[in-house]
Structure 1
Amino acid sequence: MKSVKIPSITIYRLSVYARNLAYLDKKNVEVISSEHLADICGINPAQIRKDLAYFGEFGVRGVGYYVKDLLYQLQKILRQDRQWHLGLIGVGNLGAALLQHTHFLKQGYVFVAAFEKDEQKIGKRVGNIIISDIRNLEDVTKKTGMEIGVIATGRSSAQEIVDRLVDAGIKGILNFAPIQLQVPENVFIEYVDFTIKLDVLCYRISSNERERSKLNSIFPKAGSNDKKY
């Protein structure tokens, strides 16, 4: 049987479902309908059912989803049922904030190493991590069992860092540097660019204001042209 390729956006939505189900589980919610779950996640109910159908049958007709059971299944699918070892490259303001963010550990993502080229930062502790010299990247990667590289360097050095991570056996990379990186087919990379998100927000705000201005010019507010006596 030919394997079905799961769209990346589906995996993204599964993570959204799992996060909200975890919240519901903490609130001792036992059962939830697809409509209610969709409302919480901001997603169409039919889309939730379609996404879950890639992985099997979930829920009970006329009842809904058992929160704890569905959460368990999604965590298995997303491999949140184990810890993942992360290594950070670039301990600037962003990198330091990532190392000290407690939410990653709660989700099963553990920073086991951090690297810098700045000699004033090497050897210092940030969070629970002692910063290593970037020249020792390959050795530390193997010793710590790093599985995912998190790049928070500048644009100019990002590709070189990626090449070294790949040579060290890393198969997953989360990139904060503002550049598209080249990796082999068996290495997976995800991009996080706050500026692009802000660009989208600014466009939507401006576009909405232009539409409102256009509507106001076509349909003036009542009384705006009334003569005053």
Structure 2
Amino acid sequence: MSIEYYVDNRSGSCRRTTSVIKELGLDVVYKPIDLLQKENKSDSFLALNPNSMLPVIIDRKAKQQPLILTEAMAINIYLCDTYGGTHLLPKDGTKRYQILQWMSWAAEHFRQPAPIYFEENVITQLMGTDPNTTRLQQAEFMLSKHGQVLDSHLANKCYVVGEKFSLADIDLASALSQMPYSKLPVDRFKHIMRWAKDLEKNHESWKYTGDLLHTGMRQALNHTQ
């Protein structure tokens, strides 16, 4: 196995993929890309992903053409299906499709507000500009609507689907990764907060990637002050 992994540990999306890599015990070659320094805009990186987004993997399987994959959701499904991640995403059955349903819901709904809060409360600070209050109001509307749905779903649950940690938990919890910096107001949702804290406490891969993210963010913010 030879997988190259293009990553910025401060990214919530990369946290999702790094967590799966740790869960599966995969030996990958890490290729750091500094988003704040716009290394994702280089010609060499754009040749891999014209969308200029992380993460990206290149899986160089023997006797096969290298597989280049972008988008954390697609990467995580591929890694689980290819390298023994059935505990995170079953090969078939009802739970597989429930997990995929919640992953899609995370992408379409729950994770949408988080980058807006990050851009308006963190990136503007780094750039020395003012937050766009209209965008923040739109993000608040989405968070209030979709946060209530997830909070109600988690009222009597330890995990989003079934009784095990899955890709659904990873995809949804990643939206909270930047909370200390972006001021994402999720603490009003008590069931979401309890679930998120339990994930950090009970799953080493998730705690590990959280520590990486926070260390990187603190360094970046201290460097600009």
Provide TM-score, normalisation by structure 1. Answer: 0.29
When normalised by structure 2's length, the TM-score is 0.29
Q: By percentage of residues, which structure has more strand? A: 1
Larger radius of gyration: 1
User: Going by fraction, where is helix more abundant, 1 or 2?
Assistant: 2
